[in-house]
Chain A
Amino acid sequence: MRYFEYFEPKSVGEACQFLNEHEEAKILGGGVSLVVLLKNGLITPSHLVNIKTIPGLARIEWDDREGLTIGGLNHHRDILLSPLIQRHCPILAEAASKIATPPIRNLGTIGGNVAHAEPSADFPPALIALNASLMLTSPGRERKVPIEEFFTDYYENILGQGEILTRIDVPPLPPRSAGTYIKLDKITNSIAIVGVASVIGFDEKGICIYAGVGLGGVASTPLNVKGAKDILVGEKITETHIDKIAKEAQAMANPITNVHASAEYRKEMVYVLTRRALQGSLDKALGR
């Protein structure tokens, strides 16, 4: 690894200020992706800013009106084991369980997983399906952005100079709702060839009142299948609806061929897995 200097901020303000003044500095969260990039010389920062020294950036809280708040520094393990997440957003625990292995889940953070902007990452599709927002903090300013607006390209995001992803907010779901995250991988919990998350919610009459579908691994960024909401909300869900959304997901997908899978295969599988994810959420929500 090439030499860099190391800084431990005491507050978010101090971290933002430091990042503002040092253009070549990088944020150190869990480090599981960052340290590999450093070792391979893919990035050569002047400084690492260890935000784990800032108190309060790891917390999982629930509010009946606001929903779930997850700190950027919560580890994948925290997400997997949190009773609040199990109760209110179990799809996030499902996604966490499919990330790598325990020693990685004990170090890696949800903020890092999102901010790294790896298009195959497992949390973003689930967070998209949950309609989550990200809190981005910079000196004297906070902005809340819908998660799908965060990603701009392979490993690229909208974070500006001196800006930190501090928090993830997930609005409350209807009481009768369920989610499913399906990951296609060659070896269990290796990088997703395709990842599909779906969340569906119903009223007492079985009419759909919430729908979200997120995709990973099939474009330069995670994708939001926005049509899911238009097709499903207000309807009693049938096979025809599911097929329509799966076709829309397939049409949106613009995957590449790489060592893990061909573009053609990904494009076929996103259709199959979107159907399965929706059917899975439907069965869970309706107690089947």
Chain B
Amino acid sequence: MVKQEIQLDVNGKSYSISVFPQETLLEVLRENLGLIGTKEGCSEGECGVCTVLLDGLPVRSCLLLAVDVRGGKITTIEGLSEKGVLHPIQKAFIEHGAIQCGFCTPGMILSAKALLDGNPFPSEEEIRIGLSGNLCRCTGYIKIFKAVQGAAL
């Protein structure tokens, strides 16, 4: 069993860690770096709670091997607030009551961030497609879509 040395850029910080080739980015984020805002759900790419941004685009950290990140910049939910001030999308989720249990929220917010970064004024249809990779089992989505619309204004 041979570990590999990899460099990870997570939320603007550089980490040098050694990992086994079969470790996913999700495992490394949670277990090596303690960034537990990224959740583990289905672990097969269906549910979206493990969503992080890789070079600004949402990806499944449960399907991405850590050795395969290869110098890309990772953003997790911990990287959104600045000096303790929540990101406007995070604030919008609170204001619109778009959170119940909160388990899907990090992935939802990161998908919303990628969407709004590329398209600052999305239609409702575009929001629905942008968040289609994130399942929520509590709120029923309407408040989530309203929060993203609110953050876009």
Contacts and interface: CB of A to CB of B under 8 A. Distances in A.
Nearest to B43: A39
A154 interface: no
A107 to B, nearest CB: 5
Nearest to A47: B21
Contact of A5 (B2, B54, B132): B2
Interface stretch (B64-72, B75-83, B138-146): B64-72
Given A2-B22, A3-B20, A35-B24, A102 B133 contact: yes
A104 B130 CA distance: 12
B65 A31 contact: yes
Interface in B2-52: 2, 4, 20-22, 24, 43-45, 48, 51
The listed residue with most B CB atoms (<10 A of its CB), out of A36, A39, A103, is A103
B7 to A, nearest CB: 14
Interface residues of B, number: 31
B68 A3 contact: no
B57 interface: yes
Count class of interface residues, chain A: 20 to 34
A188 interface: yes
Contact of B63 (A3, A102, A107): A107
B132 A50 contact: no
Given A103-B133, A106-B58, A31 B68 contact: yes
B67 A102 contact: no
Interface string B110-148: 010010000000000000011011100000000000000
A38 B64 CA distance: 12
Contacts, number: 79
A48 interface: yes
Contacts of B59: 103, 106-107
A282 to B, nearest CB: 27
Contacts of A6: 4, 21, 65, 67
Contact of A32 (B1, B2, B45, B54): B45
A36 B57 CA distance: 21
A35 B65 contact: yes
Given A36-B45, A39-B43, A52-B70, A3 B60 contact: no
A43 B89 CA distance: 41
Task: Label chain A's interface by main secondary structure.
Answer: mixed
B129 to A, nearest CB: 7
Contact of B65 (A28, A53, A77): A28
Nearest to A101: B133
In this complex, the member of B1, B57, B60 whose beta carbon has the largest number of chain A beta carbons within 10 angstroms is: B60
A151 to B, nearest CB: 23
A252 B64 CA distance: 38
Contacts of B43: 39
Contact of B111 (A1, A4, A103): A103
A3 B45 contact: no
Contact of A101 (B24, B48, B67): B48
B58 A53 contact: no
B68 A28 contact: yes
A102 B111 contact: yes
Contacts of A11: none
A60 interface: no
Interface of B: 1-2, 4, 20-22, 24, 43-45, 48, 51, 54, 57-60, 62-65, 67-68, 70, 111, 114, 129-130, 132-134
10 contacts: A6-B4, A28-B68, A31-B68, A38-B22, A39-B43, A48-B21, A52-B68, A102-B132, A103-B48, A103-B60
Given A28-B68, A101-B48, 10 more contacts: A2-B22, A3-B21, A3-B22, A4-B21, A35-B63, A36-B44, A103-B51, A104-B45, A104-B60, A188-B132
